[in-house]
Structure 1
Amino acid sequence: MRLVYFLSFLGVLATLSLQAQNDESGEKKKKLKGEFFFEWGYHRDTYSNSTIHFEDHKTGDYDFTLHNAKASDKPDWDHFFHTPLTVPQYVLSGGYFFNDKHDLGIEVCWNHLKYVVDDNQLLHVTGQVNEHHLDTMMVVTPDFVHFEHTNGNNYLMISLLKRVQIVHSRNEQHVLSANFRLGGGGLVPKTDSYIMGKHNDGPFRLSGYVIGVGGALRYDVFRYLFLQFGIKGSWANYTDAKLYEQGRAQHSFFSAQYILSAGFNIPTKGYKLRPTI
């Protein structure tokens, strides 16, 4: 359902922008000179260690912290051709390049990552559980804590884009460029957790914020299609991840995404390829 909402938003954005193309100013029509694009792809991710604070705000039964916990992604590629397209870690984005002298653009992007704290780690645990003080190294088993954002560790971001054209063919049917992005937005996870046997799964909710930068090498072919390989680094800060009943978790970490994607362009009527520098 969230994918439908996102696609609807992109559709409204494109419709409004195309309508603006036909607005008249005096006797002259203003023409957009850029191009819209839509992109879909898949990725692998790595994460920095994270210190995670768990607290039950209803009963006070627990208030403890796992220090420097390691986490992994979950690509779910084992049955790629037999599962929905949105099960693996994917990226969906849409945006617009203005094709001005700075060759800037704007993008709205949904990054579906998966974050799983590795089970059975030896970790430093501090705080209290059922009024028992903790300040010790211990193996954190799933019977004590299992914690993941697998549906997922979702980044909804708006980014500023910068395109640097490297080379293009004479007929403008093949273009190689480097694209850079800087943006931020909200964390919309569906957190799945077990805290001392008490299970909670979801719901989807705004649980923090994220900022990120990225770079990509993009190959446009026949003007309307493109392939892209990119790397994106982000800092995610979960301020209010939901646990069982009134339980909450807070943590932050860095992520790196390695993204392979494809997409298509929709040039506007006034679009003209800018020459290489």
Structure 2
Amino acid sequence: MTLTSSALLRKSLVCAAGLVAAAASYAQTSSVVLAQAQPAATPAPAVAVDKTAAQIDAENSRRWSIYWGWNRSTYSNSTIHFKGSDHDFTLHDVKATDMQTNTGLADIFKYYLNPAEITIPQTNLRVAYQLDGDTAIALNLDHMKYVVVQDQSVAIDGQIKGVTQSGQQVIADNWLNFEHTDGLNIVSLEYEKQKKVDWFGGDRTKVFALVGLGIVIPKTNATMHMVNQTRNDEFHLAGWSVGAGVGMDVDVTKTVFVRTAYKMGYVDLPDVLTSARGDKASHHFTYNELLVAVGYRF
């Protein structure tokens, strides 16, 4: 049979179309088989990302803390002016000390760790708010004690019951007792800057510097025998104080920490109450304080 050119062209196109269709069908079938043969893809494991210092600081910010501790203190000599209806005299260069309880084991449990005896030892209470990773503000109570040393001889001038005073005067128990023993209470607002250091391993330690300004509310125990006034013992807003300090915090756990600090400051007491009838005294001095405390963050 003889084919024309047009018939041969049509037959060639039909054959080519059939071959393309067959190849496509085969390719599709092979893809399905290969897909079924391949194991399912395993999701890529999540990669752990360490927190940055900024993230850690952010987590530690906007947190409160509270601590309770104990202190020792020393004082500069001071000039004390006493004034009342029958006296107006000044004692110069008067020595004073703190009044720390003995630190034997029995005393630690009796005074330092006994809430019922909370005002007997020299103590510190602080409530702080962490503004950011290295800044905090705090309301602070330094409960120190100030005791004029007995049997010291000091210069005196002025008058007592109209009698002029001059020369030296021995501060004895039958003449004057003067102390802020319950206590020299400095209530201050403190601003603190901190810096992390790697002194004990890990991210557990901060050193800090602080400044504070506050009021002083002593409970002054005064017995003025020279003018026949019996012991007066009551709280009274007597003056103000400014101070600064440095120290270190060490984290024991994520919430519990130990704090130690050295503080120094200036105290001005222009309105000390010395008797029930309203007699007054005034003096000013500097102090040095060492403290250790245990705190909790929340």
What TM-score results when the alignment is normalised by the length of structure 2?
0.73
Structure 1 position 177, deviation (Å): 1.0
Secondary structure of 1:142's partner?
A: coil
Determine if the alignment matches structure 1 residue 94 to structure 2 residue 127: yes
Q: Distance in 2 between matches of 1:239 and 1:199?
A: 22
Q: Does the alignment pair 1:254 with 2:286?
A: yes
> Residue 160 of structure 1 is aligned with which of 164, 186, 191?
191
Cα 1:148–1:99 shift into 2, 3 Å: same
Q: CA deviation at 1:169?
A: 8.1
Q: Amino acid of the residue matched to residue 257 of structure 1? A: E
Deviations 1:136-155 (A, max 9, x none): 11222122211000000100
2-side partners of 1:165 and 1:199: how far apart? 53
Aligned to 1:34: 62
Q: How far apart, in 1, do the equivalents of 2:64 and 2:292 lie?
A: 19
- Match of residue 82, structure 1, among 103, 106, 110: 110
Residues 181-219 of structure 1: CA deviation (Å, up to 9, x unaligned): 101111011100011241233321211001110111111
Whether the aligned pair in 2 keeps the contact of 1:220 and 1:226 (CA below 8 Å) is yes
Query: d(CA) in 1 for partners of 2:250 and 2:169?
Result: 50
Q: Is the 1:190–1:201 Cα contact (8 Å) retained in structure 2?
A: no
Q: Which has the higher strand share?
A: 1
Residue 190 of structure 1: aligned partner: 219
In 2, Cα distance between the equivalents of 1:89 and 1:207?
A: 19
| Structure 2 residue identity aligned to 1:181 | L
| Structure-2 residue corresponding to 1:20 | none
- The letter for the 2-side match of 1:179 is F
How far apart are residue 35 of structure 1 and its match? 2.0
Q: Match of 2:198, SS? A: strand
Q: Is the Cα contact below 8 Å between 1:159 and 1:182 reproduced in 2?
A: yes
Secondary structure of the residue aligned to 2:167 is: strand
Structure 1: gaps spanning 5 or more residues: 1-30, 267-277
State the partner residue of 1:3: none
Which sits farther off after the overlay, 199-208 or 154-163?
A: 199-208
Look up the SS of the partner of 1:222 in the other structure: coil
Partner of 2:109: helix, strand, or coil? helix
- Pick the structure with more helix per residue: 2
Q: How does 1:184-223 map to 2 (within 5 A)?
A: 184-196=213-225, 197-223=228-254
Larger Rg: 2
Are the equivalent residues in 1 in contact too, given 2:262–2:288 (CA < 8 A)? yes
Q: Which residues in structure 2 correspond to 1:257-272 (within 5 Å)?
A: 257-266=289-298
Structure 2: 5+ residue stretches without partners: 1-58, 112-116
Q: Which moved more, 1:194-203 or 1:106-115?
A: 194-203
Contact 1:77 1:88 in 2 (8 A): no
SS in 1 for 2:166: strand
Contact 1:65/1:127 (8 A) holds in 2: yes
Counterpart of 1:199 in 2: which secondary structure? strand
The aligned residue for residue 71 of structure 1 is 96
Partners of 1:71 and 1:109 in 2: how far apart? Answer: 24
Displacement after TM superposition at 1:82 (Å): 2.0
Which of these residues, 105, 127, 132, is aligned with residue 136 of structure 2? Answer: 105
The one-letter code sitting in structure 1 at the alignment partner of 2:252 is: V
1:243 to 1:253, Cα distance in 2 relative to 1, 3 A: same
TM-score normalised by structure 1 residue count: 0.78
The alpha-carbon deviation at position 221 of structure 1 amounts to 2.4
In the alignment, what sits opposite 1:132? 163
**Per the alignment, do residues 89 and 169 of structure 1 end up closer, same or farther by CA in structure 2, a change over 3 Å counting?**
closer
Percent identical residues: 28
Deviation for aligned residue 1:243: 1.0
Shift of 1:175: 1.1
CA root-mean-square deviation: 1.8
Once the two structures are TM-superposed, the CA of residue 134 in structure 1 deviates from its matched residue by: 1.2
